[in-house]
Amino acid sequence: MKIRPLPNLVNSLALLMLLSFSSVINASLVVNQTALINPKGEWLNHGRTYKEQRYSPLTDINKNNVNELDLAWSFKFDTARGMEATPILHDGVLYVSTGWSHVHAIDARSGDELWHYDAKVPKSQLAKTCCGPVNRGVAIWQKDNSSPLQIFFGSLDGRLIALDAKTGKENWSVQSTPTDGNYSITGAPRIVKDMVIIGNGGGELGVRGYITAYDVSSGEMRWRFYTVPGDRNKPQESEALKKALPTWSGEEWYKLGGGGGTVWDSIVFDPELDILYIGTGNGSPWNRDLRSPGGGDNLYLSSIVAINPDNGKYIWHYQTTPADNWDYTATQQMILAEIEINNEIRSVIMQAPKNGFFYVLDRKTGELISAEKFGHVTWATHVDMETGKPVESEFADYQENGGSYIWPSPYGAHNWQPMSYSKKTGYIYIPVQTIPAYFSGQKEVSYKVNRWNTGVNLNESRSPASWVAAKASLDALVYGELVAWDPIKQERAWTVRHPKPSNGGTLSTAGDLVFQGTWDGAFAAYDALSGDQLWQYQSDSAILAGPITYELDGEQYVAVTQGSGGVVMLTIGEEIRKNYVNQNRLLVFKRGDFNLERLTANNTMASLESVKFEHDLDIARVKNGEYLYHNNCASCHGLDAKSNYVVPDLRYMSEETHDNFATIVLGGSLTHKGMIGFYETLSLDDVGMIHDYLRDEQTSVAEKLEMTFSQKVEYWFNYAISKLGEKFPEILNATRDSIM
Ligand code: CA
């Protein structure tokens, strides 16, 4: 070991003093690669640093004083949709995106808005989304001292937009997706080597996935990487696609929209290895027998793919779900870390995708180090370490079985809500959810623009047990968890159970804390080692996004965006509350006592008056209407027409809405609100039957809510039996026994 001579130490001290002096006179970092590797007290990348660990070294707020946290200020947005954005904090400014592709720059000291940009997305674009007009955040970058500091984000209609960070004025905008297809953008861009990397979404409707790199200054395209092969009769765009082609059969995938594999969320960069990692989405259509009749793994669906960031060339891949059949995306957040496995420090990439297995891979080679179930999983028994592939269970092939009851559902055991990794505890903090699904395949897909094209019967797919559970407000089968996961032992260290699924992303800190919001508008801090809850703030709408923490003027802050939305809240969220408004806010906390008016939720349950209709409803028409509703309307308005406060609950339609029902549903008279006309897919008679079904729901909802607990269970049990007959009596009986 070399002993440093004294003069060096003196020099180091002088340098240190100089550095701290210069940081006082020029506190602002240049937001480049160096800054994204070490953002100091700021939050400069989606997952804070390039490693996307969502771990902060700040300790001013810690487990001994976190009970002193209070809401310092909040900012109310003028949207009322899902809030999934992670804010960026730089130089005293918070940059936040909201639903409908707005971006706000907010003074982090005063809470005042500095500028607001509206991408003016046509509301009809909503029909091309699976899960609401959400946006998961912006990116920030400054190429050099003579270039402007810029904010980048993707708009719902597929544009990539560069804004001047000081003024909010548009520097450039490029259309990154074909406007005549089923594409959308909801994910946050990442900046790598003066390029903006952006993916897109649309896997439920039918698109071909890709990511694109654009020059930060000009918006000029640098390269594009397609995740699945194109038309087999045409040349493929890359060597990687030529290798992937033999893993696909037939020609259906590109005739039915493009095969899927969209990169709608996680993109991670390792500056040391100079590798870009992307997580790819599910197959499109979901049903593999319709997508690739004749089998095949269908590369590179549901995979982690390593790419050369300079030219977009393939390096390696690991497919988490070969021959995806269940909407098991591998787009969920990926974390880079160095962890010790068998006395060796390994550079790993880790992911907890929808399919319920936690993966640890060597990020240089793609070698599978380990994979174990982190949630409730029945589609596969285990991952075979010889082949590196999951072993499908008897339930997996629903086409062959004529329908299967499976965990996880397409909601995933873990979805877009980001997880975090604490170097200090060694744990990954995962927002886990348990929701089963009943899968039933269709015989064919007639591909349509603006519609889901999954090849799965979404009416039949409503699980009888989850109906029983969700409708009777039971927590036995459908629930959420905050899980501290040990990635070395591949097991849970501790679990906090939440009564409902769809809870928030996590943040962990060197102050031994984990922060997470929940479906009911609570925001809490937990002891990172034990899971004990140490502090909580109750707000007035669901908190689902990933929280951030930063230092400003020598004080540590914690901030998070709130707003109910996303696919779980939209379809199996909570019971309606009368006059409940989805509040989109940015909440900013620090230690102190600020005595602000509390943002308390109105918890009054809707008082329901039975609506009596003049004529008797024809039960056959109601049943047909129910089928049509669940294949055309339920992804936005909720299963069994039980929406929540994100979109109008159709069981509470006003007289005026009843009168104008066909004009709205067929004619598109509410297109300006995002409800397009369905004249291309539904007939006037179809709409009449959907209306009859909704009248029936509206008539019976009051009776249902007046039932006792056991009456509700019995009611929904019988309801489930009536839907699926005696198909799964054992499951239903077991369900009833476990909750009665
Ligand atoms: Ca999907």
Q: Is the pLDDT of residue 147 over 80?
A: yes
Looking at the domain assignment, is residue 19 inside a domain? no
Q: Is 80 in contact with 563 (CB distance < 8 Å)?
A: yes
**CA angle, 266 then 226 then 282, to 5°:** 55
Q: Is the pLDDT of residue 169 over 70?
A: yes
Confidence of residue 457 (pLDDT cuts 50, 70, 90): confident
Question: Can you tell me the distance from the alpha carbon of 254 to that of 285, in angstroms, rounded to the nearest whole number?
Answer: 10
- Which has more pLDDT, 657 or 87? 87
For the chain, how far is it from start to end, CA to CA, in angstroms?
69
**pLDDT, tens digit, 9 for 90 and up, residues 435-444:** 878 788 888 8
- Which has more pLDDT, 554 or 569? 554
Say whether both 277 and 415 belong to one domain. Answer: yes
What is the predicted pLDDT for the residue at 119?
98
Looking at the domain assignment, is residue 12 inside a domain? no
Q: Is 382 in contact with 375 (CB distance < 8 Å)?
A: no
Say whether both 341 and 263 belong to one domain. Answer: yes
Say whether both 239 and 316 belong to one domain. Answer: yes
- Which has more pLDDT, 146 or 674? 146
What is the mean predicted confidence (pLDDT) over 274-293?
97
Mean model confidence pLDDT for the chain: 87
Rounded to the nearest angstrom, the distance between the alpha carbon of 330 and the centre of ligand 1 is 10
Domain count, the chain: 2
What is the predicted pLDDT for the residue at 576?
47
Say whether both 490 and 638 belong to one domain. Answer: no
What is the predicted pLDDT for the residue at 102?
98
- Which has more pLDDT, 220 or 727? 220
Rounded to the nearest angstrom, the distance between the alpha carbon of 338 and the centre of ligand 1 is 30
Rounded to the nearest angstrom, the distance between the alpha carbon of 203 and the centre of ligand 1 is 5
Rounded to the nearest angstrom, the distance between the alpha carbon of 329 and the centre of ligand 1 is 6
Looking at the domain assignment, is residue 614 inside a domain? no
Say whether both 503 and 387 belong to one domain. Answer: yes
- Which DSSP string do the residues of 371-397 spell out, in sequence order? EEESS---SEEEEETTTTEEEE-TTS-
Rounded to the nearest angstrom, the distance between the alpha carbon of 140 and the centre of ligand 1 is 28
Confidence of residue 17 (pLDDT cuts 50, 70, 90): very low
157, 270, 327, 512: the catalytic one is: 327
What is the predicted pLDDT for the residue at 653?
83
Handedness of CA 281, 287, 291, 294 (dihedral sign): positive
Rounded to the nearest angstrom, the distance between the alpha carbon of 414 and the centre of ligand 1 is 12
Rounded to the nearest angstrom, the distance between the alpha carbon of 95 and the centre of ligand 1 is 28
Say whether both 155 and 76 belong to one domain. Answer: yes
Which phi and psi angles does 662 have, rounded to 5°? -65, -35
Say whether both 122 and 238 belong to one domain. Answer: yes
Rounded to the nearest angstrom, the distance between the alpha carbon of 430 and the centre of ligand 1 is 19
Beta strands in 227-279 (DSSP E): 267-270, 275-279
Rounded to the nearest angstrom, the distance between the alpha carbon of 438 and the centre of ligand 1 is 16
Alpha helices in 442-590 (DSSP H): 464-471, 566-572
Q: Containing H/E element for 665?
A: helix 661-665
- Which has more pLDDT, 702 or 495? 495
Rounded to the nearest angstrom, the distance between the alpha carbon of 496 and the centre of ligand 1 is 27
User: Of 70, 135, 47, which is closest to residue 429 (Cα–Cα)?
Assistant: 47
What is the predicted pLDDT for the residue at 407?
86
Rounded to the nearest angstrom, the distance between the alpha carbon of 286 and the centre of ligand 1 is 8
Say whether both 641 and 500 belong to one domain. Answer: no
What is the predicted pLDDT for the residue at 740?
46
Looking at the domain assignment, is residue 609 inside a domain? no
Q: The tokens 């009777």 sit on which residue?
A: 472
What is the mean predicted confidence (pLDDT) over 92-110?
97
Question: Can you tell me the distance from the alpha carbon of 451 to that of 682, in angstroms, rounded to the nearest whole number?
Answer: 12
Q: Is the pLDDT of residue 476 over 60?
A: no
Structural domain boundaries, residue 346:
35-436+478-591
Count other Cβ atoms within 10 Å, centred on residue 476.
Answer: 14
What is the predicted pLDDT for the residue at 463?
47
Structure tokens at 731: 């499951």
Q: Is 460 in contact with 709 (CB distance < 8 Å)?
A: no
Looking at the domain assignment, is residue 14 inside a domain? no
Task: Pick the most confident of 333-347, 562-576, 677-691.
Answer: 333-347
Percent of all residues in the chain with a pLDDT value above 70, rounded to a whole number? 84
Beta strands in 282-424 (DSSP E): 303-308, 313-319, 334-341, 344-351, 357-362, 368-373, 380-384, 389-392, 404-406, 420-421
Rounded to the nearest angstrom, the distance between the alpha carbon of 9 and the centre of ligand 1 is 56
Amino acid at 468: V
- Which has more pLDDT, 217 or 602? 217
CATH number at residue 129: 2.140.10.10
Question: Can you tell me the distance from the alpha carbon of 11 to that of 201, in angstroms, rounded to the nearest whole number?
Answer: 53
Looking at the domain assignment, is residue 7 inside a domain? no
Rounded to the nearest angstrom, the distance between the alpha carbon of 282 and the centre of ligand 1 is 5
Which has the minimum average pLDDT: 259-268, 632-641, 687-696? Answer: 632-641
Active site residue 215: no
CATH number at residue 652: 1.10.760.10
- Which has more pLDDT, 713 or 92? 92
Say whether both 238 and 175 belong to one domain. Answer: yes
Q: Which residue among 591, 610, 631 closes a domain?
A: 591
Say whether both 233 and 309 belong to one domain. Answer: yes
Rounded to the nearest angstrom, the distance between the alpha carbon of 98 and the centre of ligand 1 is 21
Q: Containing H/E element for 700?
A: helix 684-706
Question: Can you tell me the distance from the alpha carbon of 567 to that of 545, in angstroms, rounded to the nearest whole number?
Answer: 14
Q: What is the pTM of this model?
A: 0.89
Report in angstroms the alpha-carbon separations of 720 from 201, 323, 326, 460, 714. Answer: 33, 30, 22, 10, 10
Say whether both 186 and 67 belong to one domain. Answer: yes
What is the predicted pLDDT for the residue at 473?
39
Rounded to the nearest angstrom, the distance between the alpha carbon of 354 and the centre of ligand 1 is 10
**Cα 551 to chain center, whole Å?**
27
Say whether both 573 and 629 belong to one domain. Answer: no
Confidence of residue 9 (pLDDT cuts 50, 70, 90): very low
**pLDDT, tens digit, 9 for 90 and up, residues 701-716:** 656 656 665 666 666 6
What is the mean predicted confidence (pLDDT) over 375-382?
93
Report in angstroms the alpha-carbon separations of 646 from 431, 435, 542, 566, 628. Answer: 21, 20, 10, 9, 22
Structure tokens at 2: 């070399």
Q: Is the pLDDT of residue 215 over 70?
A: yes
- Which has more pLDDT, 722 or 224? 224
Structure tokens at 429: 């903090």
